[in-house]
Amino acid sequence: MSADTIAIPGIAKPASRIALGTWAIGGSMWGGADDANASKTIDEALELGINMIDTAPVYGFGHSEEVIGKALEGRRGRVILATKVGLNWQDGKVFRDSRPARIEEEVEKSLSRLRTDYIDLYQVHWPDTRTPFEETARALENLVKSGKVKALGLSNFSPAQMDEFRKFAPVSAVQPPYNLFEREIERDVLPYAEKNNLVVLAYGPLCRGLLSGRMTADRKFEGDDLRKTDPKFQQPRFGQYLQAVEDLKAIANKYGKSMLALAIRWVLDRGPTIALWGARKPEQIAGVDDAFGWKLDAEDMKAIDAILAKDIKDPVGPEFMAPPLRA
């Protein structure tokens, strides 16, 4: 990998601008776990120069963290570990819960599963508006003071919510969905991050595989695969998005790059971003190097916008993924 890195306030080492996203490694909503391949994927990511891994307790209800902790034994110091807090679940149903008691419970479980005594970046997964942000922020700030956490982040928060949270604790990063097809953060979250020196961890940069360039109209999604309910993967929208991918390949070809590399490069060219490249098999992160050492010019950025406007008649965001508030 190129030496393309970014500093995250509060974290000693710079982070690679591609991080390994591990939602799929947890298995839940991705067709089940495959621990042997997951461990090989982590090995491959480190070999390629990726030094940041992002996870969450809810990914497989702890399983993703367990796999990562086991895979990193003996080399924890090489990695910036980012995980999350503030979700709870009962009978497999997930809901938001950022009460201080839940935070105290979750951090100990995450530390144990990850086999570490500190978390580099601890992020509130979704805003819990039924718990005052002051209570959540102060509980997390206490973890920073104790050394269990190095820096704090907020995921899926609006600028107004971030402003409220930041009254009580410093924030180093924000994690929103962001990719060529899901660009809502350009209106508010991205400029807010740039103004306030926050690093943006863009999740879903390949839009659940849609931007990999490998998906076809006859692709079937089985079991608990979340794409069975993702509006982008239902016709007629699915066909519109696939057509856009085909047209975007012409721009990728101009640079001698794959569609996947174009999708990642686009995210990296949009601001102070880290692309969370999700993978569960080592071959799924092949091509990381292809995203570095070049940039999209202004003319091609405009051409990309024109393709999206032409092909996608009924665009939709990632709203379907939002978990409910506590009862």
Dihedral Cα 74, 37, 126, 5, nearest 10 deg = 60
Q: What is the three-class DSSP state of 293?
A: coil
- Contact criterion met (CB below 8 Å) for 140 and 102: no
Count, residues in the chain: 327
Torsion angle of C-alpha atoms 52, 57, 63, 68, degrees rounded to 10: 20
CA distance 20 to 42: 8
SS3 166: coil
Residue 192, token pair as written in the block: 């807010």
d(CA 289, CA 3): 10
CA–CA distance, 126 with 84 (Å, rounded to integer): 9
The gap from C-alpha 187 to its chain's centroid, in whole angstroms, comes to 19
Q: Which residues pair with 154 in a beta bridge?
A: 124, 174
Known catalytic residue: 178? no
- Dihedral sign (CA 60, 221, 155, 281): positive
Per the CB < 8 A criterion, the answer to whether 38 and 297 are in contact is no
Q: Residue 288: beta bridge partners?
A: none
Query: Active-site positions?
Result: 59
